[in-house]
Structure 1
């Protein structure tokens, strides 16, 4: 099977019928010659411009010339025009000066591409829910409140901290971590999402188990949930394993999160299923 990857491209129109579609694309300039780039990284090393790294959920910085992540396909660098000093101020060009293969193309332009294809596969993806709208969780205010995607990057050996778990407020290892379930789902009052996402229970269990492996036997993980949904193959076994390894499961509704000291230590208040506030 021959597959042609057209990166930095957006579909602008599709016409035709099954077996005979005409697809038009708009391909943004990479400003790097893909034939010449050997992904040595010299350009990024010498680039003085830094910006927030979206792949690492804003927990780290990347350069204006970059690859999105180490396993990117194709493994070729690209220049972020909005962050590049040359495009903003007309000076620098450090990447061009130090590139050993002369791969930098500041004169690269946007291209229109037309393809004739037999079929189209729609893979829409999704946008992660932003919990900043909820003032009781304080994700936008407290640095030690992170989303599951942010925690995945913290856990990752290829992430900004090399897989070492520490509090963003002071860099110390946490003694306890709480996972809060159903944020952004099963809530018609505040987010209009009545459905269960169907994935949160299992990735929270996975993250808690891995965190305990990283932090040791004295670490105390707890998952605050409304209903535990372990519906896939062997999911219930993994749930039981997590409990046996010291993960606490607390059926509850979280009320508020507050900071209790200058180091960013958090206090969580919640109501149990019997109505008791803790």
Structure 2
């Protein structure tokens, strides 16, 4: 029953909002902001059309600068919204190079409110010791740098798919307390406080993990805290990361197609129990992976 209740809460929290688009036209440039995934932990999907050539375009928001990339449907920027932000009106700055020089166009959009239920985790004594291992935090900082990669090509097509055939039991965004430990989430990420940065699937050890979308392997190595860790670069600032694997079946630099087997689930690192942790980072910020399951390319 407890799992059913948790899954129901995750379903509510992860549902996309009714689609709504805010548009603004300045001269020959039209900017559209899709608010359908705009909630704490979600995304602004910003598109730009221009009847004249323009240079580099960047969307700035909440201290982040997110470049526009070419897609099959024109130029687009994915702007992550941190889960710690409150709902309400927000202003994005669209910075572009035009004939008259550099311009900054403000666009107001709405972040829908969203709350995430808290959770408490108890780590076994043997796992707690990993937090004190020399180099653990430094290694995690290096992982975060990897999760900030911004390759220019979009490698995925269509919505992402869950990496295992199971419903997540613990969802994204939950304020997390670790009994007998402090700052575990920040030790593995270092930014934005103690909240759960991905989805946890309580699957048996050895469950086959599949790529949620096409991409290139940019990290496949054991880590002190996150265990056997795999990072896929899907392009344009979007990356998937998988923690606590028992085995990694791909190598760094290897290209994988959507639904390709990439490893086996396990309980390596500071996992409290055997499970798969899947997180999605957009421009270095962990977002709810379900936004990529809802995002049309």
TM bin, normalised by shorter chain, reads: under 0.3
TM-score (normalizing by structure 2) = 0.25
Name the larger-Rg structure: 1
TM-score (normalizing by structure 1) = 0.27
Higher RCO (CA 8 Å, separation ≥ 6 residues):
2
